[in-house]
Each structure stands twice: as structure tokens, then as C-alpha cells.
Amino acid sequence: MSWLNLEQLLHPTGVPRPVALAPLLDHGELSRQALQLAAGLQRRGVRRLALYLEDAGLLAVALLGAWRAGVQVLLPADLQAQTRQRWLGEVDLWISEQPQDQSLQALFEAPLPAAELDLDKCQLSLCTSGSSGEPKRIDKQLRQLANEVVALEQLWGEDLGDACIIGSVATQHIYGLLFRVLWPLCAGRPFLRHQLPFPEDLQRASREHPAFAWVASPALLKRMGDNLDWPALSRVRRVFSSGGELPLSAARALQQRLQQWPTEILGSSETGGIAWRQADQPWQAFAGVHLSQNEDGALGIESPYLPAGHVEQSADAVAFTEDGRFHLLGRLDRIVKLEEKRISLPMLENALLDHPWVEDTRLAVIQENRASLGALLVLTRAGLHALRNQGRRAVTEALRTHLSQHCETLALPRRWRLLRQLPFNAQGKLPQAEVEALLLAPRPTGPEVISRELKEAELHLQLAVSADLAYFSGHFPQTPVLPGVVQVDWAIELGQALLDRPRRFAGMEVLKFQHLVRPGDTLDLDLRFDAERSKLYFTYRNGGVPCSSGRIVLEAPGE
């Protein structure tokens, strides 16, 4: 391995230097393609460019090529219509893998000569996720990113060595961009091109490399269960986590399985990295980062990753320790008012997390006839057991009683939604609009389709049965069971993909109910359509155990 500063990445190295894997991209090819792109952008007179490339290797080519051409780069958070409209007047060209945008390779021309990048003139704009309001643009000079990359290498480079960098987070945001692309590029560590959002994918990729490190989110690390090959994964050099605090229980589980604590990174699009920690230790500021506190107790940051002389004022309340480290006390911007009473949502969430039935939670204000709080909940195994054997009302009342020790009655959630997991996005953020939409939505009446495989006249599905399913409330309140008629209705609805034309229900044959379906179950549903007899065959299984089966007789309209 040989270190190259960020401004030197377009120069030839003279020695083989892998960049990206699957497929392979080496440093020489990276430089050649970047310089070809730079020529194409210059000839077309492009000055401002929007990039959205899920392939981290292509993103590296695009960034270096654009900077060599003197083009300002915007990394939008997504390619939704409203996102395009928001930045429409600020860019000359969109490059993505979408058919309506310009492809990277179509811009290539005879390459410009290699040159050192100007750290003060090259610019990058990042977009916040909009998790706490309207997305906004954050402008950075390349020097700020270069400073951070050097600091990361000084802190952890020796530990990582020649580890392959494997990431579960997107590269459109600061954490993924630095840890999955820019830092490995400078250090000469290969990185996988694509984001791997599931634990099984992370495991599969890790097994292919003798040395590897993970760039992950708390959302993924919390989902890494006993089904993984932990002895093989224990070769991981370091586990990074950012995008939110990792619960101590999840960090401890990783330490027991991997014999190392994950390394948590605190930062934001505005500030870059602020601090890091392991276990439940206080946060330690990165070298060169100076921290302060305003009169409200909020953290102020002065950093080489910010414009010189600028102090970024955050909304994070903190308490400093005697040695200059600090504890996070919650977001000041998540203190709400109900009937003129100030209520700290983080405080209530932490109180709920202390209950053995709660694995994860997020609270928000619901604006209906009168403002009140609502709670999204992910139950632990113990919580799911209580739900199955006591019912939904008993569980929510027990949690309200637990919370009443920490707050006034008006702060107790009036609406509860029980989820399999919180809807974190690829950056580990919970968009506020998503939280509010889930709280306002009616309870689900259908299953969550986890996977589906269609083969000729057969359809195989894996379904998650929501703990919050509306049908459980009346069947039966204290021992919720999925009604048989609902199972038949799901089979008919999901089986429409097999039918040759619309058909009406006409009857049932050999209907069997063998085992109960309960909240939180994961079901395998096999469907087969016999067009000649106009019969839809279905079988539900839970862990291989048959739950129900039968034949649904259908007739086409007009018959």
C-alpha cells in the first residue's frame, strides 16, 4: 500500500494499485477514465454537475474527472422528481445510471493531461437527508475532505492495513463518501463498488477477502443475528458505525461475537466527523476539532473540516467530562410543546428503551383534532411474547404505566404502531415525514412481502405478519390469532399474479387449518394455479410446519 493525497490521485503511481472490486478497477484505469471524462465535460462547457451513481468505482471516476475539469459537483440524496425539481436551476447536467440522465461513459473523450487538483478551487455540494425538515445543500472545498481523510488514516490506518472496505451505506452522503470512497482511494485499499444493505450480503462479501473492514449503519448492525457465521466474520479489522447512536445492547452483542467493540462516528453533512467512541465511553473529539457549548447546552464545533474560523452550532445537548470528552444528552430540536408543556422526545424514547419489551422506538407529535404524541415501536422477543399472550392493549397500557414514572399524563403516547423494524433510510436516518406518515396511517391489513419467486404456474412468497395487524384486535383481544378467512383472502390477492384473467371466488375445497398464525410470525406461502380446473392451491408454513392449506375454486366473470 502507498498513500496518495487527495490532490495527487490523477497522477500515475508506477506500481499496481487496486481501487474497486467486482469488477476490478485499478488506479491506472481510474485515472485514464477520469481524465477522459474531464475532457468531455470541458468540451461541453459543463460548469455544475449533479452525480448519483450507486457504483462507488464510477463515482470515484466521476468526482476526479469533474474536479480535474473545474466542475462543481452536487451529490443529491436521491433521484425523486421533487429532488430533481429542487436542484433543477443549480446544475447543467445530471449523470446517473437512469435512462433519462447522461451516462458516464458517453462523455468520455481523448484524455486531458494529468494534473494536481486544487484543494481550494475544487468544490463538492452534499445534500442533507431531510430527516428533520427540508433538505438543504452543504458546500465544501476539497481541502476540507482532504483534511478529514488524512485524520482518519492517522487514527486507524495501521489497524486497517490492506483490508478491503465493505459498506452497507450509500456513498451520496458524507459518511459513505469518506469511508467507502475517498479514504480508501488515498490509502490504496480496495473497496467494493456496491452498497450491501443486508447482513447476509455483508457476510457473503466478507468471506471472499482475507482482510476486510465494515462501513455500516446502526440499522444494519442491530439486525445482525445468530444465523451468521461469526467465527469467519471475526476476522474483520474494524467495524465503523455512523448515522445515529448504536444501542449499547447491539454494540455489546457485536463485541461478544467479534471480540471487538464497533467504532461509532459522530458527525454530519455540515461538520464532517466530530468525535468517535467505543462501548459506552464518552465521545472523543477528532484531532484538531475544538468543541464548545452555548448557553442552551448545545455543542459548538470548530474544525479543519469546516471553513476556517467558522463555528458550527449544533442542536445536540451535551455534558462534558473533566478530560474534555462528552456525553450526548439528546437533540434540543426534538423538544416539543403540548398544552404549553415542554417535552423531550429523546428522554421519553430512552425511558421506553429501558423497558425489557422495547427494542427500538421513535416518538413524534400527531396533529389531529388536538396535538398528542404517537410512538413507533419495535418489540423485543420478550415484548412479542407478551403481545402474543396478553394482547395489544395490555402491552401498550404496560408501556404507558412505565412511562408515567417519567412524564405527565399529557406526554403519554395516545397512538402506538408496532413495527418489524423502524424505517431507517440508507444513511441510518429516520425521515420525520416517514415517522409521521406511519403514525397517521391505519393499522395494516395485509402482510409484508419479504421475497417472491415466480416459476411458471407457481408462486413462492415469504411473508412477515405484522405485530400490529388490524385483524388481531378482535381475534382474539388477549390471544391474537390470524383469522382463517384472512389467510384465504391473502392467498387470493397474492395469487392474482398467477391468473390468466380476472376470476371470482366460487368456493373452497379440502380447507385445513393445522397451526395458529400469531403476531410477528414469518410465513412461507406456496401458490399454484390450475388453469384447466380454475383452482388456486395454497399452503402456508411457519418454519416448515404447515399452518393452513386448501383449494380455492375460481370462476371467470361471465361464466
Quote the distance between the C-alpha of residue 348 and its chain's center: 23
Exactly one of 194, 327, 475, 515 is catalytic; which is it? 475
Neighbouring CB atoms inside 10 A of 372's CB total 18
Query: Whose CA is closest to 528, among 502, 497, 559?
Result: 497
Task: Work out whether the CA dihedral 516, 517, 520, 521 comes out positive or negative.
Answer: positive
- Residue 401, class by beta-carbon neighbours within 10 Å (0-12 exposed, 13-18 middle, 19+ buried)? exposed
Assigned C-alpha cell, 102: 447522461
Cβ atoms 547, 523 nearer than 8 A: yes
Q: Catalytic: 475?
A: yes
Task: Work out whether the CA dihedral 362, 366, 370, 371 comes out positive or negative.
Answer: positive
- Distance, CA of 415 to CA of 362 (rounded, Å): 12
Q: What residues contact residue 269 under an 8 Å CB cut-off, 6+ apart? A: 126, 127, 128, 138, 173, 174
Angle between helices 56-68 and 27-44 (to 10 degrees): 50
Query: Whose CA is closest to 141, among 308, 389, 299?
Result: 308
b vs e for 148-170, b when ≥16 Cβ sit within 10 Å of the residue's Cβ?
bbbbbbeebbeebeebbbbbbbb
**Three-state SS for 317?**
strand
Residue 199 φ/ψ, nearest 5 degrees? -55, -40
Whose cell is 451516462? That residue is 103
Strand-pairing partners, residue 192, are 21
Catalytic residues: 475
